[in-house]
Structure 1
Amino acid sequence: MFITFEGIDGSGKSTQVRLLAEALEAAGHDVIRTREPGGSPGAEEIRALVLQGDPERWSPETEILLFTAARRDHLERTITPALAAGKVVLCDRFADSTRMYQGLSRGDLRAQVDDLHRLMIGREPDLTFLIDIDPAVGLARAKGRQGHEERFEDMGVAMQARMRAGFLELAREFAPRFRVIDGARAPEAVAADVLAQTQAALAGRA
């Protein structure tokens, strides 16, 4: 099963990926944890290009091409082989983030994102968790990390608010695979919801 986690910056996705991986491994599942952009050597090189530097370093159109190139390498070298081996793949962000960050929030380019996705990627996750949180809270958390990959956080809370609205709309558009989770609670409470819904989805595929 291919499971992705989406949400605005600072929503707690990475924590939930880790907690779900630990719970599934304890239950006997073979789990791969990965992320986007990144997840393969070539894609990690592209990650450094797109997440660091000035907020206006790349145009939205260029970003779409870079993210799609990274995703294609990730798919070929990590995701597809793991799924073929019967593993559960947990990915921190996938194509839905590109639909939002480049396709919606930085311009009206959703059609171009979807066209490239159809041509070069050709698959959606089996299950997507949207960790929903207030944009101001998420941005404060993200900025508090004080890392080097803050290019999108530097675009401000207004962009995060547009992103949140866009993610919620995506959850309606792709309703069969999306689960919206309240991320304002303690991480353990969020993790319990995520695990229960994952277990139900896995049981449905058995």
Structure 2
Amino acid sequence: MKIHRLITGLLESNAYLLENETTGEGVLIDCGGDGALIISTARQLGISLRAILLTHGHADHIEGVDRVVKAFSCPVYLHAFDLELLSRPDYNLSTRIFGKPLSIAAHAVALQDGDTPEIAGFSPVVLHTPGHTQGSVCYRFKNALFTGDTLFRDSVGGEFPPFGNLQTEIDSIRSQLFSIGQDCVCYPGHGEQTSLFYEKQNNDYCRI
């Protein structure tokens, strides 16, 4: 698996284009704020995009969804608890972030904790990590962990109304991520990559 990181939009949200180098297929982790960049990058690399996996439903991670879906006719996956955020500007924080409402038209497939969808030759494990939003998830691809806004390098995504809760987020990190029996490279929704080992030792919010 080859990982292509794209920094997108007003809040410099990370979108990750995962390439199956054997088949030429790909999966997108979060859609960020620049659908055109994602589309052009996938086409330049010759990647046939098979799915969009969203870590949560906040506007800075979903803004480009409809444009990318239109270009590749690919399904969108999101935890069941965050489905409503796609169509609710008051929940997805779009007015707060962009100064205007955002509503996503694309239908999303509901995910649950422990699901392992088969996509583009990959079988990621869905880890439900509520706190930043009720439906926040992380996706584990063997030793690569895509943490969205649940876990950053030296920080966490924090709580945002109406559904966020910082203590719930910290509990999720400790129970769902720090319990993984091996070190993983973490690819967050903002900022640079880190590792579970580093965060366990150094993250003041959730170290153990």
TM-score, structure 2 length as denominator? 0.34
Which protein has greater RCO, CA pairs closer than 8 Å, 6+ apart?
A: 1
Structure having the larger proportion of residues in helix: 1
Structure having the larger proportion of residues in strand: 2
TM-score, structure 1 length as denominator? 0.34
